[in-house]
Structure 1
Amino acid sequence: MNLLSLYLDRPLTKATIEYSLELQMNKGVENGYYGRNDLLHVVLSPFGVLSLIAEEKKTILHALSTLGIIIEDESDTITQDYPIHIDPLMEERFKVTNEAIYLREVSTLNLNVIALAISQSVGLERYEKRLDTLFMQSRRIVESIQTFSITRRSHLMQFAKRLALTRHDMVSNLLLLDKPNILWDNEEAEALYNRLAFILELYDRHEIALSKLAQIKEDVMLVMDLINHKKSEFLEWIIIVLIAVEIAMGLMQMIK
């Protein structure tokens, strides 16, 4: 079997998938949906990642084409794929390596758990790329710390807003800080998810992303403090000049 997860550049609704692929989507893990027919297993995550599982890759590519999704340039599309092998003679129920996933038997729950972990990895990669862009912007902000601009404060406020929203989305959407409810009631599914999370380094990557966000936040706060300090100095000089002008005018009136 083959699994492909990709980040959707445009929203894809449950109804669109049902109509296009002729299958029924049901409530899956957390706020996600899943559906399947004789050839295809589909999982739509709440954070905009679509996962397709099928025996043959051409089935997956056909489904993507039917949905109007064409992967032209893989460098611009965030995707991850994983082969899934079924071996009824395996002693353990599952085995996960960097190269493949091995299952003793296929179940809807196992496929949904696998799709969830791979989807989280794809979603995390999207935030990692966004953080790289924010990190470069933060560096430029620090490098231009000596320049003065009237609109700079508002630009920094907008940048800080983007940081806050990025952190909020990472924590609330990717479900990496809270274990999905379905895993509490199934030890096998929990063990499979934990193994996938370890192989994909989900928690380590999440912590690194949050530390980058914290570093960018510190840079922005530093620049904001310096701008506020410069503004205070500017206002102090205005007050000093006004006082000097008032004293000078008073002296001129006394001389007259």
Structure 2
Amino acid sequence: MKEADLIKIEAIQIAEAFNIKKLRAEFGIEAYSSSPSEIFYTLGNKKRYLYIFDYGVVVFANYTEAKKKELINFLQNYTTTAVHLDLFEEYRIEIDKTISKVVIKNDYVLVPYVDPSVLRIVMLNIGQSVALDYYEILTNELISSSKEYILELELHGKLSISKINLLKYIGKVLNVKNSIVDNLYILDDPNLVWDNEELNLLNRHLKTNFDINPRFKDLDYRLGIVEDNLRLFTDVLNVRESSRLEWIVIILIFLEIMIALLFH
């Protein structure tokens, strides 16, 4: 296949978030389209394409390694909490003018033509897939740590974690949960598919191919399990604190009685 008939796409999770407003103002090139949560660029006379999302993902199309590294270094100036998990996904678009409709494969999509709208749909779905990879890792870490505490309860009937560390753990869980909720819009269909049946079909096929909706539902289910565990841990901690307060009261009463006896 000719190089002109092939577009290589790569999505990378660089950070937890981008400052989209500042990045757009300082990038120096007019965006093809943008919103408060994303920016899409066509560069090099539509030879290269760039899609940046506020949830920390950047998607490259037809970028050389040198150009890609250069841009990643530039984007680091606009990140919030860099991610160093080597999270990326590759895909490609193959153009075949002899076909009449889109054909979706595991690692590429075959299209009769390509334009910025087609690029945006493909790059959007790949970006969503990488973002879900990141949230899956965070959720798995929370599940694993909560299992350790549950095992401790099973073996020893108590939790050794301190109140401060438990509160930190609760904060971490809520932070992940809020981050996912804030980015719920990644599941929404982009406006450009509403009046275009071909783009709508492409978008739906890609969502199915990358298991976008099932993966998000699984994330929500697993976070629900973690939240149930948090309620259990909080109840155990409250019982422990109540017991400690009861002993303090008993000791104070005992001391008061002893002092009264000594003075009488």
Bin the TM-score by the shorter chain: 0.7 to 0.9
Per-residue CA deviations over 1:190-225 (Å, capped at 9, x if unaligned) read 221111111101111111111111111121221111
Per-residue CA deviations over 1:138-165 (Å, capped at 9, x if unaligned) read 223334453546xx22222222222222
- CA spacing shift, 1:27–1:148, aligned 2, 3 Å: same
User: In structure 1, how many angstroms separate the alpha carbons of the residues matched to 2:217 and 2:136?
Assistant: 11
Which of 35, 39, 43 aligns to 2:41? It is 35
1:85 corresponds to 2:94: yes
| RMSD (Å), alpha carbons | 2.6
2:185 aligns to what SS in structure 1? Answer: coil
Q: Which amino acid aligns with 1:179?
A: D
Deviation of residue 237 (structure 1)?
2.0
Which of 112, 119, 125 aligns to 1:111? It is 119
Could you state the TM-score of these two structures normalised by the residue count of structure 2? Answer: 0.80
User: In structure 1, how many angstroms separate the alpha carbons of the residues matched to 2:38 and 2:210?
Assistant: 20
User: In structure 2, how many angstroms separate the alpha carbons of the residues matched to 1:30 and 1:192?
Assistant: 24
- CA spacing shift, 1:109–1:91, aligned 2, 3 Å: same
Which of 2, 5, 9 aligns to 2:11? It is 5
8 Å contact kept, 1:120–1:174: no
State how many pairs are aligned. 239
8 Å contact kept, 1:28–1:112: no
User: In structure 2, how many angstroms separate the alpha carbons of the residues matched to 1:89 and 1:187?
Assistant: 20
1:51 aligns to what SS in structure 2? Answer: strand
Match of 2:65 in 1: 61
User: In structure 1, how many angstroms separate the alpha carbons of the residues matched to 2:111 and 2:34?
Assistant: 20
Could you state the TM-score of these two structures normalised by the residue count of structure 1? Answer: 0.82
Which of 12, 15, 31 aligns to 1:25? It is 31
8 Å contact kept, 1:5–1:50: yes
Match of 2:231 in 1: 221
- CA spacing shift, 1:183–1:31, aligned 2, 3 Å: farther
Bigger Cα displacement from structure 2, 164-173 vs 115-124: 164-173
Which of 48, 55, 61 aligns to 1:47? It is 55
8 Å contact kept, 1:86–1:103: yes
User: In structure 2, how many angstroms separate the alpha carbons of the residues matched to 1:161 and 1:203?
Assistant: 26
Deviation of residue 109 (structure 1)?
0.9
Match of 2:81 in 1: none
Instruction: Return the structure number with greater strand share.
Output: 2
